[in-house]
Structure 1
Amino acid sequence: MGDVDDSLAALAEPARGCLQRVIAAARRIVPDAEEGRSYGMPALKLDGKPLIGVAAAAKHLSIFPFSPGVVDAVAPRLEGFSLSKGTVRFTPDHPVPEDVVEEMVRLRQAEIRK
């Protein structure tokens, strides 16, 4: 296993399953992404740069696409979610739609590879 899988395995359900779905979607889009850490959190990396990270806090889960531009691009599709510069917060009861996760990964991949 690696940093991401090990970190997620240590979480309790339902947080573990929610964050594993985010990582699985990212791996489908960018199968050559590597496990690592960025800003202290488990993250997938592409070409040595952070692609997408995830974290669990006491009252929410977070997706970090490491790009305010990516969050801004998908914000219209995330009404009702807590957003900030580079972060999308959600709960297991209100997960980020998979197509939006996939779009965040595609957009971040494009930023890294431009």
Structure 2
Amino acid sequence: MTSGMDAYIAQQPEPQRSSLTAMRALLGGLLPRAEEAMAYGAPAWTVDGTAVAGLSGSAKHWSYLPHSGSVVATLGDALSAYETSKGAIKVPAGETLKKPLVKKLVAARLTELQMVPDAKGKVRDFYPDGGLKAKGAMKNGELHGDWQWWRADGSLMRSGSFDRGRQVREWTTYDRSGIPVKVTDFGR
């Protein structure tokens, strides 16, 4: 089955198609645990449902989309060779961005998302490869409600609940295969 991203890239003219294909491979390597998706009609890499990076084709160029209104400004001089807007970096057709620059763009976006409540009030922490490190909620700046932590390999490590920063109820620690190895009851 052809994905939306496959179809999008296939319909691009050359040399944009080759540039987008190369960038897809680069982003896939930098964000191996991100999901390929379509966001706003263009290819995107999402982590826990939030777009971290994206691409779009155009008649005379292609664009890197950080899915943020502030990442481009954060990188400032590193992007001086490109035409930019608040939400896009225009790259001439047939060219690609260098891996160190893309790593900086991805890192800036992940940093922007860390421990900031999303639309559902959840906060997340990430590993550099886009994998989730932790996920839960906060109340008045303190951990509150159900939380989960993952190892760098993506396996669930621990889950438990907080009441305004204090551990409550049962906390479970898991081995790498997801089997509970320790349960601690912190009461109410």
The interval holding the TM-score normalised by the smaller chain is 0.7 to 0.9
TM-aligned CA deviation for residue 93 of structure 1: 5.0
Pair 89,33 (structure 1): closer, same or farther in 2 beyond 3 Å = same
Structure number with the bigger relative contact order (C-alpha 8 A, sep ≥ 6) is 1
62-71 vs 90-99, which moves further: 90-99
- Structure showing greater radius of gyration is 2
Q: Which runs of 5+ in 2 are unaligned?
A: 116-188
1:74–1:100 contact (8 Å) kept in structure 2: no
Name the structure with the higher helix share: 1
| Mapped pair 1:37 → 2:41 | no
Q: Could you tell me the percent identity over the aligned residues? A: 30
TM-aligned CA deviation for residue 16 of structure 1: 1.2
Number of the residue aligned with 1:23: 24
Where do residues 45-84 of structure 1 align in structure 2 (5 Å cutoff)?
Answer: 45-84=46-85
In the superposition, the TM-score normalised over structure 1's length comes to 0.85
Which string of whole-angstrom CA distances, capped at 9 and with x for unpartnered residues, describes residues 42-77 of structure 1? 211111011111111112211101112211122311
Q: Secondary structure at the match of 1:88?
A: strand
Q: Secondary structure at the match of 1:68?
A: coil
1:51–1:108 contact (8 Å) kept in structure 2: yes
TM-aligned CA deviation for residue 83 of structure 1: 0.5
Name the structure with the higher strand share: 2
TM-aligned CA deviation for residue 23 of structure 1: 2.1
1:46–1:109 contact (8 Å) kept in structure 2: no
Pair 75,96 (structure 1): closer, same or farther in 2 beyond 3 Å = farther
In the superposition, the TM-score normalised over structure 2's length comes to 0.55
- How many residues end up aligned between the 2 structures? 114
Number of the residue aligned with 1:107: 108
Q: Which residue identity is paired with 1:109?
A: L
Pair 22,74 (structure 1): closer, same or farther in 2 beyond 3 Å = farther
78-87 vs 94-103, which moves further: 94-103
Pair 21,93 (structure 1): closer, same or farther in 2 beyond 3 Å = closer
